[in-house]
Chain A
Amino acid sequence: MIIKDTKILLVEDNLDDVELTLLAFKKYNFSNDIIVARDGQEALDILFPFKEKSKKSKLPDIILLDLKLPKVSGLEVLKEVKTHPETKIIPVIVLTTSNEDRDIRDSYRLGVNSYIRKPVEFNKFVEVVKQLGLYWILLNEVPSHKEE
């Protein structure tokens, strides 16, 4: 696999899921630069730090977002990301267990770029992560954060 210099922010509270996701990513060598946020607040802190300087360098290229999170929910994080102009351009992929209509609808209403359901079965999950990586990391071009 070609390793691209893609920064990924994984927002996920469940350690098991974090580990399994990382395992799956590792299996296909999509990226080495994965930051994990364990709740919504942490994700927001990473995306909107107090020091203006460090901001640009730390912004991820892709956000993988779980919906059910402690403190600040995934939808709220999504709303913040899509409201602010500097984060608005970052593709957000909801990666969650639920396929409730309400969640899908709300996510797209807030401007999610993709909604992917985590299958329970590990083999299927690995397959999903593979597809996701192939598309969003390798095929899809993301905008750079450097000023034009």
Chain B
Amino acid sequence: MKLTKISYQILLTFIIVIVVSISTAGWFLLQVCENIVINKISVGDRQLSQGVGREIKSEMENIKSVLKFLVSSPNWQEMDPFMIKDELKFVENNFPDITELYVADLEGNQIVKKGAGKPENVADIWSFQLAKEGQEIFSDIFLDPQTLKPIQIIVLPILENKTVKGVLSAELDFQRIISSIMDVEIGRDGSIFVVAGNGRVIAHTYINQLTDIDFSSVPIVEAVLGGQKGVMKGYADNLGNRVVGTYFPVWELGWGIIVQRSLSEISREVEQVRNVIFITIITSIILAIIAGWLMSGTISKPIRLLAEASERVAGGDLSTSVDIKSSNEIGVLTNSFNRMVKELKQTQGALRKSHDELELRVKERTTQLEASMYELKAFAYSVSHDLQAPLRAISGFSEILLRDYLDTLDDQGQHYLKRVRAGTVNMSQMIEDLLTLSRIARRPINKKRVDLEKLVRETYELLSEAERKDRKIDFTVKSCLPVSSDPQLLKIVLTNLLSNALKFTGKCKKAEIEFGCNTKDKKTIFYVKDNGIGFDMKYADKLFSPFQRLHRKEEYEGSGIGLAIVQRIIHRHGGKIWAESFSGLGTTFYFTL
């Protein structure tokens, strides 16, 4: 049996714990690093977007304030084309982004015009009509359908004490601003773009040809157009790359500046950190395996030793002891294991000793018993042979005396001789019975299926043949199931019990003898019942002793050994026999087999 399980379990647990904790820590560290990098980048990007936004704003505000200043100057209120033209020269020189410009009178006639084409009437144009009413119009940036340039149109009324004298219209070209945005140094994966209030991108680092697509539903555009500034992480840009966006609104213009950077650029920055973390994880796994291997070995070795030792003890080797010097629980376990084995050994030794002693004693007893059995057998044998011979001589010669020499004896002499003969008959019967008793004790039991009812009837017929003529006997047999017993021995039992019943009912007017059985506690109890003279129950324990008589011999003949034989047969069958009686009312013998 190989005991490597515990060390493997420890090792595996160790490695899992180390890897999980270091990986988790590494992942968090990576996140933190990424955040730091993103924050660093976004700080720069915020400054960039703010700078761009402010630049555009100031440029626009300059233009606006100059235009506003012009329309409110007293020279313009006169609507003198020369004066106006003269002042516009300043504008043309300082603000090259203003590409077209005109001043129209209230009828819509352009009195001054800069740019292509001849002066015309603009009375039908919607912005002119609004400005004529006194409104200032700043259009969104849109692409000029003819030139495809991003432009904005500013239309202002020329006022004199709130009275509209004329209209100034200027067209701003954003090409230069956009170009300047596109020239901003932003790095390989970064981009900067400007969205106008209508959601249109008006400038983009990589897109020259701007399209008329509304981006206002894109989250970052929505946020920046809503006037917020901030950083948005991990969303997909229009090309599907995951990016980080920093946004800044140009509130006054309703624009937004967005700087976008690809996350892969950020990961490049974090890559070094990530490499360090990976190397750390791999190193710590290797270290964990080595440490775990050593540790599991240290922990499992004594356990393995103990397990192997207990296997040996279980296999019966009690000379086993475990040599581990440790002050922890393993040490305690080892000590108690060694002590236990020692005690087991002692107990086993003691047990074996007492077992051996017992064996010896049993042997002695058996020898003694065998000797006495042998003596008993020899005794019975010699009784059988030798004790009967002199008896036969007494019987024989007294008989011959009675037969052949009768006339030489007087009556008294003849009487004595008859007593001698009767004595020999008696003694020979007793010897016969004794031999039967001892023979039954030695005879092996030979069990068969016996029809008890039939056997009882046969035995009874044989026994009562002579008596039935002289007296009335009421004999009943209750039916019983067949039993397993030695038929010859059982016949001796029945013969004795039934002849007893016949004998002790001899003086009854109407003898009643019954054989039957009943069941108690799953055991069948058989009985032989008579209504004879019975006996006093205080002698019940003497009933089955050999030569024990409860009645005088003159009244009822017999050797007094019959019931002893019956009891011995019943006991040899593993059964019990007992009797119940009332003097003068009868006796019942019960027995089990």
Contacts and interface: CB of A to CB of B under 8 A. Distances in A.
Interface of A: 14, 16-17, 20, 23, 67-68, 96-102, 118-123, 125
Interface stretch (B191-199, B336-344, B388-396): B388-396
Nearest to B389: A14
Nearest to A12: B389
Contacts of B443: 101
Contact of A122 (B380, B385, B386, B395): B395
Given A98-B381, A100-B384, A16 B397 contact: yes
A17 B399 contact: no
B127 interface: no
A120 B424 contact: yes
Interface in B438-472: 439, 443
Contacts of B390: 16
B399 A123 contact: yes
Contacts of B386: 68, 97
Given A98-B381, A101-B443, A121 B393 contact: no
A121 B431 CA distance: 13
B61 to A, nearest CB: 147
Contacts of B398: 122
Contacts of A100: 380-381, 384, 439
Contacts of A16: 389-390, 392-393, 396-397
B428 interface: yes
Interface string B217-242: 00000000000000000000000000
Interface string B389-414: 11111011111100000000000000
B425 interface: yes
Contacts of A101: 439, 443
Given A16-B393, A17-B392, A20-B393, A122 B400 contact: yes
Interface in B189-218: none
13 contacts: A17-B389, A20-B392, A20-B393, A96-B385, A97-B392, A100-B380, A100-B439, A101-B443, A118-B392, A119-B428, A121-B424, A122-B396, A125-B392
Nearest to A24: B396
Given A20-B393, A20-B396, A97 B425 contact: no
Looking at chain B's contact residues, the main secondary structure is helix
Given A16-B389, A100-B381, 8 more contacts: A68-B385, A68-B386, A98-B381, A99-B435, A102-B381, A119-B392, A122-B392, A123-B399
Contact of B384 (A14, A20, A98): A98
Contacts of B392: 16-17, 20, 97, 118-122, 125
B206 to A, nearest CB: 129
A31 to B, nearest CB: 20
Nearest to A102: B381
Interface of B: 380-381, 384-386, 388-393, 395-400, 424-425, 428, 431, 435, 439, 443
Contacts of B428: 119-121
A122 B401 CA distance: 12
B384 A97 contact: yes
Those 8 A-B pairs whose CB atoms lie nearest each other, nearest first: A16-B393, A120-B428, A122-B396, A122-B399, A98-B384, A68-B385, A20-B396, A97-B388
B395 A99 contact: no
A84 B190 CA distance: 137
B396 A99 contact: no
A112 B428 CA distance: 27
B38 to A, nearest CB: 116
A11 B431 CA distance: 25
A118 to B, nearest CB: 7
Given A122-B395, A122-B399, A99 B425 contact: no
B384 A17 contact: no
A67 to B, nearest CB: 7
Given A16-B393, A121-B424, A97 B385 contact: yes
Contacts of B397: 16, 20, 122
A104 to B, nearest CB: 11
B396 A97 contact: no
B151 to A, nearest CB: 146
A68 B384 CA distance: 10
A68 to B, nearest CB: 4
B425 A121 contact: yes
A98 B385 contact: yes
Nearest to B431: A120
B299 to A, nearest CB: 76
Contact of B395 (A68, A98, A102, A121): A121
